[in-house]
Chains A and B, each alone.
Chain A
Amino acid sequence: MSSFTEKIKKVDPRDAKLGMAHFYVAFIGLFIGGMAGLLQTLVRSGQYTLPAGIGYYQLLTLHGVVLALVMTTYFIMGFQLVAVSRTAGTLSNKQRTTAWIGFWLMTIGTVMAAVMILLNEASVLYTFYAPLQAHALFYVGLTLVIAGSWLGSAAIIMAYVAWRKQNPGQPSPLLTFMALVNTLMWVVATIGVASTVLFQLLPWSLGIVERVDVAVSRTLFWYFGHPLVYFWLLPAYMAWYVVVPKIIGGKIFSDSLARLSFILFLLFSIPVGFHHQLMEPGIDAAWKFLQVVLTFLVIIPSLMTAFSLFATFETFGRSKGATGLFGWLKELPWGDARFLIPFIGMLSFIPGGAGGIINASNQMNQVVHNTIWVTGHFHLTVATAVILTFFGISYWLIPHLTGRTLTKAMNKLAILQGVLWAIGMTFMSGAMHAAGLLGAPRRSAFSEYGGAAQAAEWIPYQIAQAVGGSILFIAIILVLYIFINLAFFAPKGEEEFPVGEAANLAEKAPMVLENWKLWLGIVVLLIAFAYTIPFIDLIENAPIGSKGYKLW
């Protein structure tokens, strides 16, 4: 499936090895986390009891930590490193070594956290809210994961700086620019979670301090937690903006528009954590409202992206002679997994985004807060839009890095995988949304709630979730089969790393978009504006704090 006219630009084998190391961990995580997810939906159907004293909340913690925190971070780090290597040139030895040290730190941390969860010492769910208290090694492990990711981030920043020095006055390659924006957002956001873990949760779990300020720790978590969802999403957007146009044989609608939308994500993704805390006491409603407004500003770059992608597809279709209002849809390469699977992801982001707007709508949050609607929501966004795009990326990137090819048979299997995912998720996430609107809580094992009539209404939906979860697990098995094939057994050959070109090459991206003093300055100002007074309020009016609880 590679272009025959241009010589394939390959990622240097040393960088390919670095990328693959990340992907091995990511896909092992996918298997473990996916298995936990399947068991959870079975338990919640009321038809299955966990064996060997395994707790539901232990599984739920494993599922969340391994998929939301570990699998995504490894995939994103690996993808961004090789994307920078492909578009800004091979990493220097220093950059590569830094990234490798980061990889190993993350891996040590991941193993520590995972072992603590498996020993049932850390069933605190992936948000690890105080006053639930995990074993100290769980927090140390998470700290190492974050510290390791900072080293991977440093490698990307160093590569970007080196490129700009060698190419003065030039806008950086689009994929490198995007990887840098996501990296900067990650570094700024993780300061929040690192602060609560290092200064609150770790000393508290070690017994150095007896009590923890719950509201402050939750606020610091969500200062990180919302940009985290954009950290997942932006690499998918990298593929949608830059890779997919090349795969279909079209052009990027506008290079400058893509860059501007990433800058807007950088500005508006961080000072918005309160929309996860709309039902919490201790934060003044005015500050919540301000952050709701900032949250709604993120809709702008999202809609810019939707417009730009539609325009890319339509322009391509019309260049092939398509007519009529939607005739261009027929021209798209539906038989190519590298296109179809991210495309299903794009479609799922439409209801995902719609749900997000509802969640963030201040008072309307009362309808859905802490219901399984929210779980349904993020299984559309991260667990469909993002993850299907990541799978779509893997289907050309893994063979590109291992010097193999995606065969026709594997392409077919990949399409089956994507379709199964869409079906399974329609069942599971659809049932979660519906049950949530009927009041079914999230984060709870099977219960009949003392025979309450309302709880009985939820059970059919829980069975639908188990059906969906089972289909999704079959899709995961297929993904892993394809991954192993592409990594070790597919025929040797050259698979393209598709990087699109802008429709208008004469249009040079404005250099102001690379002015990081300006953008990071605005980021800091927005964060300071949105968070300073609420934090002063929280600390000034702090209660005595809470002791730790182990409720599992």
Chain B
Amino acid sequence: MAQPGLDKRTQTKVEDQSSLKGTLASVFLLGFFLIITWVGVFLLFVNRF
């Protein structure tokens, strides 16, 4: 049975203080940087040797 009042919950989004999603994003960025630089020099190697 529909209870109209229940649909109107206020959407206060509480972020979990223990969230480490920024850390996850940071280590991924770090990983991509390592891969990009490595591949860059690898291509130089392939072209030269």
Contacts and interface: CB of A to CB of B under 8 A. Distances in A.
A and B together in one complex: yes
A351 B33 CA distance: 8
Interface of A: 303, 306-307, 310-311, 314-315, 317-319, 323, 325-329, 350-351, 353-355, 357-358, 361, 363-364, 366-368, 437
Given A311-B23, A314-B22, 15 more contacts: A306-B26, A315-B20, A323-B15, A326-B25, A328-B22, A351-B33, A354-B37, A357-B34, A357-B37, A358-B38, A363-B49, A366-B48, A366-B49, A367-B44, A367-B49
State the main secondary structure of chain A at its contact with B: helix
Nearest to B49: A366
A311 B37 contact: no
Contacts of B15: 318, 323
Given A354-B34, A354-B37, A303 B45 contact: no
Contacts of A327: 22
A351 to B, nearest CB: 7
Contacts of B44: 367, 437
Given A306-B30, A353-B34, A358-B38, A319 B17 contact: yes
Contact of A364 (B17, B34, B42): B42
Interface in B9-49: 15, 17-23, 25-27, 30, 33-34, 37-38, 41-42, 44-45, 48-49
Among B17, B37, B41, B49, find the residue whose CB has the most chain A CB atoms closer than 10 A. Answer: B41
Q: Which 4 A-B pairs have the closest CB atoms?
A: A310-B23, A354-B37, A310-B26, A314-B22
Nearest to A359: B41
Contacts of B41: 358, 361, 364, 367-368, 437
Contact of B45 (A311, A325, A351, A366): A366
Of the candidates A310, A311, A315, the one having the most CB atoms from chain B within 10 angstroms of its own CB is A310
A266 B18 CA distance: 31
14 contacts: A306-B26, A307-B23, A307-B27, A310-B22, A310-B27, A314-B23, A351-B33, A354-B38, A357-B37, A358-B38, A364-B41, A364-B42, A366-B49, A367-B48
Interface of B: 15, 17-23, 25-27, 30, 33-34, 37-38, 41-42, 44-45, 48-49
Contact of A325 (B25, B37, B38): B25
A357 B17 contact: no
A361 B41 CA distance: 10
Nearest to B44: A367
Contacts of A366: 45, 48-49
A303 B28 CA distance: 11
A368 B42 CA distance: 11
Contacts of B45: 363-364, 366-367
Given A325-B25, A366-B45, A350 B30 contact: yes
Contacts of A329: 22
A446 B21 CA distance: 50
Contacts of A325: 21-22, 25
B10 to A, nearest CB: 17
Contacts of B21: 325
Most chain A CB within 10 A, of B26, B30, B38, B48, is at B26
Nearest to B27: A307
A367 B44 CA distance: 7
A136 to B, nearest CB: 42
A361 B22 contact: no
Contacts of B23: 307, 310-311, 314
B17 to A, nearest CB: 5
A301 to B, nearest CB: 14
A329 B25 CA distance: 13
A231 B23 CA distance: 27
A92 to B, nearest CB: 42
